């Protein structure tokens, strides 16, 4: 089988495909034949080592000093090729989707997962590509909008950067919660922002829609507290998804300024599936490439201008 590996921090070519034997599932493990996996902004950041200001040291302490010592690939969708001893609750051939997490390993033709880990049956309303795209932006947008900003029905939300992975999930989830959504996007993505449910869209290069907003979801950190504060209502909250170390420190003393990272555990995954089943979220798959073009997928992901999610497919995904 083919499996991806990072050779160094740096350009997209530092992710390479090696040959490896298909792993054998151990006790309590599933062997999954991967059909699709996303190439996310997080994958691009881990490979390049380029993170928001002040966080480079933390990244290298967490995943490796001279090169990323984690395996490429955060999430996957596929089907179960074999069950390890003692596995219950899954069947061979069943379609599943899940997370390998930041230690990675989803950019491979086959992978193993603990059956009691972050893996769930793939709903029949999702293709493999949609299953692969499901969790990255969805988990982030759901946790920050629902749990952290406590977005309420009737509130007015601005999503700055509304059509990438996090933004496209954020617009949909906010509409489902009963909020009114305004958005910024580059002109080519205005149609998509409106299809997702934004009622007002401006180009972020010319400025955001007119405030006040109850919540601002600032996906790339392009507004920051200084840019967002004049647009917020008196109790308005800023959610900064891409935050520098200084932003993170400032948010600890300002309850209206929300930063951090989101959880990627089974309860969060199950909640997102429920949201999907209630019609509140379906991931956008903007582009699909064959697994062999993983380096090209990294090049696209690190532009931070992709519509929705970018997915690579292994074998014959449908
Ligand atoms: N805190 C966390 O836990 C967490 C979790 C997930 C992701 N993130 C971070 O969140 C960011 C976004 O991730 P993603 O997966 O959504 O990325 P993405 O799919 O590449 O989307 C980026 C979005 O930002 C927009 N954008 C680019 N430059 C902009 C600017 N100068 N001003 C306003 N909008 C701009 C793009 O719009 P156009 O395409 O229209 O140009 C696009 O909608 C990344 O920095 C990622 O590392 C953080």
User: Is residue 191 in contact with ligand 1, taking CB distance under 6 Å?
Assistant: no
Which atom in ligand 1 lies closest to the alpha carbon of residue 305? 39
User: 315: pLDDT confidence band, cut at 50, 70 and 90?
Assistant: confident
Closest CA to 211 of 222, 220, 200, 197: 200
Q: What is the pLDDT of residue 107?
A: 98
- Is-contact 109 2, C-beta < 8 A? yes
What confidence tens digit (pLDDT) does each residue in 175-217 have? 999 999 999 999 999 999 999 999 999 999 999 999 999 999 9
Task: Answer yes or no: do 112 and 45 share one domain.
Answer: yes
Q: How many separate domains does the chain show?
A: 2
Out of 214, 240, 258, pick the residue that ends a domain: 258
pLDDT over 60 (residue 9): yes
Task: Answer yes or no: do 295 and 243 share one domain.
Answer: no
User: Is residue 167 in contact with ligand 1, taking CB distance under 6 Å?
Assistant: yes
Which atom in ligand 1 lies closest to the alpha carbon of residue 301? 20
Which atom in ligand 1 lies closest to the alpha carbon of residue 186? 40
Domain assignment of residue 278, yes or no:
no
- Is-contact 32 25, C-beta < 8 A? no
Share of the chain above pLDDT 70, in %: 99
User: Is residue 50 in contact with ligand 1, taking CB distance under 6 Å?
Assistant: no
pLDDT over 90 (residue 143): yes
Please tell me the distance between residue 267's alpha carbon and the centre of ligand 1 in angstroms. 25
User: 81: pLDDT confidence band, cut at 50, 70 and 90?
Assistant: very high
Which structural domain, as residue segments, surrounds residue 304? 2-134+284-313
User: 41: pLDDT confidence band, cut at 50, 70 and 90?
Assistant: very high
For ligand 1, mutation pick of 47, 148, 164, 169 (most atoms within 8 Å of CB): 164
| C-alpha span between 88 and 140 (Å, rounded) | 30
Give the 3-state secondary structure of 236-297. Answer: EEEEECCCCHHHHHHHCCCCCEECCCCCCCHHHHHHHHHHHHCCCCCCCEEEEEEHHHHHHH
Segment 47-58 mean pLDDT: 96
Task: Answer yes or no: do 14 and 58 share one domain.
Answer: yes
- Is-contact 84 1, C-beta < 8 A? no
Please tell me the distance between residue 169's alpha carbon and the centre of ligand 1 in angstroms. 12
Task: Answer yes or no: do 187 and 230 share one domain.
Answer: yes
Nearest residue CA, atom 38 of ligand 1?
305
Q: What is the pLDDT of residue 280?
A: 98
Please tell me the distance between residue 259's alpha carbon and the centre of ligand 1 in angstroms. 14
User: 317: pLDDT confidence band, cut at 50, 70 and 90?
Assistant: very low
Share of the chain above pLDDT 90, in %: 98
User: 256: pLDDT confidence band, cut at 50, 70 and 90?
Assistant: very high
| C-alpha span between 318 and 36 (Å, rounded) | 9
Segment 131-142 mean pLDDT: 98
Q: What is the pLDDT of residue 48?
A: 97
User: Is residue 160 in contact with ligand 1, taking CB distance under 6 Å?
Assistant: yes
Q: What is the pLDDT of residue 318?
A: 42
Task: Answer yes or no: do 150 and 123 share one domain.
Answer: no
Q: What is the pLDDT of residue 189?
A: 98
**Mean of per-residue pLDDT scores for the chain:** 97
Please tell me the distance between residue 282's alpha carbon and the centre of ligand 1 in angstroms. 18
Which atom in ligand 1 lies closest to the alpha carbon of residue 241? 1
Query: What does the block give as tokens for 3?
Result: 């499996």
Please tell me the distance between residue 240's alpha carbon and the centre of ligand 1 in angstroms. 11
Task: Answer yes or no: do 145 and 102 share one domain.
Answer: no
Q: What is the pLDDT of residue 316?
A: 59
Domain assignment of residue 206, yes or no:
yes
Q: Which CATH number goes with the domain that contains 111?
A: 3.90.180.10
Task: Answer yes or no: do 140 and 126 share one domain.
Answer: no
User: Is residue 122 in contact with ligand 1, taking CB distance under 6 Å?
Assistant: no
Task: Answer yes or no: do 79 and 190 share one domain.
Answer: no
Task: Answer yes or no: do 63 and 99 share one domain.
Answer: yes
Query: What does the block give as tokens for 73?
Result: 């690939």
pLDDT over 90 (residue 225): yes
pLDDT over 80 (residue 221): yes
User: Is residue 189 in contact with ligand 1, taking CB distance under 6 Å?
Assistant: yes
- Is-contact 263 284, C-beta < 8 A? no
What confidence tens digit (pLDDT) does each residue in 93-106 have? 999 999 999 999 99
Nearest residue CA, atom 15 of ligand 1?
165
Q: What is the pLDDT of residue 11?
A: 97
């Amino acid at each position: 089988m083919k499996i991806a590996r990072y050779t160094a921090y740096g350009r997209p070519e530092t992710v390479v495909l090696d040959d490896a034997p298909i792993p054998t599932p151990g006790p309590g493990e599933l062997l999954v034949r991967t059909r699709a996996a996303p190439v996310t902004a997080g994958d691009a950041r881990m490979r390049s080592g380029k993170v928001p200001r002040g966080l480079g040291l933390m990244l290298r302490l967490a995943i490796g000093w001279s090169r990323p010592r984690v395996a490429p690939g955060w999430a996957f969708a596929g089907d179960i090729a074999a069950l390890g001893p003692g596995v219950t609750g899954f069947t061979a051939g069943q379609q599943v989707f899940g997370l390998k997490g930041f230690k990675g390993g989803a950019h491979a033709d086959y992978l193993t997962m603990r059956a009691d880990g972050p893996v769930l049956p793939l709903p029949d309303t999702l293709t493999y590509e949609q299953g692969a795209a499901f969790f990255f932006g969805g988990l982030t947008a759901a946790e920050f909008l629902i749990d952290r900003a406590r977005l309420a029905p009737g509130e007015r939300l601005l999503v700055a950067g509304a059509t990438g992975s996090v933004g496209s999930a954020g617009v949909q989830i906010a509409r489902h919660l009963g909020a009114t959504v305004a958005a910024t996007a580059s002109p080519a993505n205005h149609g998509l922002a409106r299809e997702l449910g934004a009622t007002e869209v401006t180009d972020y290069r010319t400025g955001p829609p007119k405030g006040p907003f109850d919540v601002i979801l600032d996906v790339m950190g392009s507004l920051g507290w200084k840019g967002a504060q004049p647009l917020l209502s008196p109790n308005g909250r800023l959610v900064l998804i891409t935050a520098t170390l200084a932003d993170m420190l400032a948010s600890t003393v300002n309850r209206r300024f929300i930063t951090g990272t989101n959880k990627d555990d089974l309860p969060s995954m199950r909640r997102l599936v429920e949201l999907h089943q209630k019609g509140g979220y379906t991931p956008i798959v903007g582009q699909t490439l064959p697994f062999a073009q993983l380096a090209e997928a990294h090049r696209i992901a690190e532009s931070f201008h992709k519509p929705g999610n970018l997915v690579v497919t292994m074998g014959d995904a449908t």
